[in-house]
Structure 1
Amino acid sequence: MRLITLLGFVLLALGTVLVISSIGAFDSTAADRSAGIETATDENAYLGIVYDDQLVERTLELESNNADGGGGCIFYSCNEYEYDDRELVVFEDNVPEGELSTVDGEATIDDSNLTGGDELRVEYDQGIAVVRGDFRCPVDPVLLGSGEQRDPTTTATISLEASDGNATVELERDVEIDCVQE
């Protein structure tokens, strides 16, 4: 009996040593991989925003040679250059299930002197929503003929809130509106 007790203590001690000490299986791990978290680009976000081709780095440049009209002067009284129905951005649903719908949309402009016609507006005839505007650029008056377009700048702030019933996405972006003097 003494032998069995001694053998039990020896096995218990060996078991304890093995549990406490490392046996080499997975005593440490190392990896040379890194992880990064980034936000999606405007085009790829759940509430995607696509800027019109005419925009350069979120700036709409209104050049008089692309105007829809205006610029004519008679005795220093001039018609502003007109840019009608210019598309700024289109909001798109990039949720895999495609269930986003507009909750609220708004478009404001810092200098309302550069808008005319239907001004700046959010419409719902393309994508989830589209922002369009009618713009006017002032003219340097001349006695008779076409005056040169002046070059004021303003900022349009565009915001949209969309939801799929479970989550709500809010987006706000600024777009510069530049009347380009040629």
Structure 2
Amino acid sequence: RKETQYPQGGWPAAPNGAAGGQLLVTQTTYDPNSNRATLVDPLGQTTSFGHDALNRLIGISYSDGTTPNVSYAYDADGNRSSMQDGTGQTTYSYDELDRLLSVTSPGSQTVGYRYDLDGNRRQLIYPDGSSVAYAYDQASRMQTMTDWSKRLTSYAYTPDGLL
């Protein structure tokens, strides 16, 4: 059985569950701007979350002494521009409409994204050159997806627009 407590402000604070007859509690605290500040797991390990003045996540630190901390940076438009973690730095680039164009991993492996004039993602390009292609109807609903192995998945919608 799981249970979540919602104190002032309506944010979940202490989800818990029973394991082997023992009550396990995870406690969460929030800063004055309602950003998650800390999470203490049932083992007493604390994960701390840092935010900037715009309430963007800028860092995550762990009290266990082994998990590498994570930091985030943002560009002038508020898009995440980089992430630094235990594997190195991942960078993100965007077009003039703030759509994600590429993600480059610490190993210099880049995944690319392409869009149509309506802003729908048309293609996802993997570092090895393989790709996933997407096609949309006139209402910008996905009609097909063709994966890197050329397997086609089709989507159909009801007259009410339900998938």
Q: Per the shorter chain, which TM-score range?
A: under 0.3
TM-score, length-scaled by structure 2: 0.19
| Bigger radius of gyration | 1
TM-score, length-scaled by structure 1: 0.17
Q: Which has the higher helix share?
A: 1
